[in-house]
Amino acid sequence: MDSLSSKLSQIQQKFQIDNISNIISINAKIIKEFEKIIIEFKTFRNDISRIQNSLNEIEKDVNTINSKSIRLLEQITTIYDKKVIVNTKQNLLESLNHHFIVKENDIILLTSILKPIDENFFQVFFKIKQIYIDCQKLLIEEHKKLGIEILEKISKCLDMAFEKLYYVIQQELKSTQYESYEIKDIVKKALYILFEKHDLFNKCLETISEKRQILLSNNFQRALVLGNPLISIYPIEMVAYDPL
């Protein structure tokens, strides 16, 4: 009986020992598995950290690229605006060269006494007169400074042209020996232009009037003394009738 009890006691002790060993073994395995999981989590955390760092770097690169892109767009916009301004100025310059710039030969033709007053003179005069009118339009718009500069030059040129017209008309009227009251077409055209300058125009009218008075006086004296046998015009007889 005692031996049986002893054996049961040994069996129980062995069972407990085995049971504890199994528990320890299982716990050890569980701990190892947890250790593996912890290592994997650490690895995963490191991977996430690297990914986050990479994302941060990418974000920095993107921000840098965006910043450079914005600056580039600003530069492109600035360059485009400057190009528009340059094109506008270029077009304006071409327009000026085409329309507002007077050739040196035209100025000489218009102002030099040595050059005759003919159709070329009148063409150049009216061309420059139109430029003068267009310059006045520039004064109303954005290009006031440019309009004033051109206007001053053109105004001086036109004043010299008026003076030339006046001088040539005076010389023409004073040097011509009229046979009739007809005035040359070139003088009529010049007088039409001089009408803008009332002082010069009135002086020319005075010269024409004086010339015609001289012509009438000369014709009257000629008719009084000589007549004109070629067209059967005889001297005018001055007779004082005596009532006695």
CA distance 125 to 102: 11
pTM of the entire predicted model: 0.51
pLDDT of residue 97: 63
Alpha-carbon gap, residue 189 to 122, rounded angstroms: 9
Distance CA 136, CA 131 (A): 9
- Spatial neighbors of 173 by CB under 8 A, at least 6 apart, are 187, 204, 207, 208, 211
At 102 the pLDDT is: 77
- Spans of all domains in the chain: 9-98
Tens-level pLDDT at each residue, the chain (244 residues): 566 677 777 777 777 777 777 788 887 888 888 888 888 888 888 888 888 888 888 888 888 888 888 888 888 888 888 888 877 767 766 666 666 677 888 888 888 888 888 889 999 899 888 888 877 766 655 556 666 777 788 888 889 999 999 988 888 877 766 555 567 788 888 888 888 888 888 888 888 888 777 777 777 776 666 655 555 555 555 444 444 4
Two tokens, residue 123? 């063409």
pLDDT at residue number 244: 45
Residue 213 has a pLDDT of 78
In three-state secondary structure terms, 227 is: coil
| SS3 state at 31 | helix
CB 169 within 8 A of CB 203: no
If DSSP codes are grouped into helix, strand and coil, which group holds residue 233?
strand
**Which H or E element spans position 173?**
helix 144-175
pLDDT score for 222: 67
Do residues 235 and 226 touch, judged by C-beta distance below 8 A?
A: yes
Bridge partners (DSSP) of residue 233 are: 228
Burial class (CB in 10 A: 0-12, 13-18, 19+), 143: middle
> Of 64, 154, 178, which Cα lies nearest the Cα of 103?
154
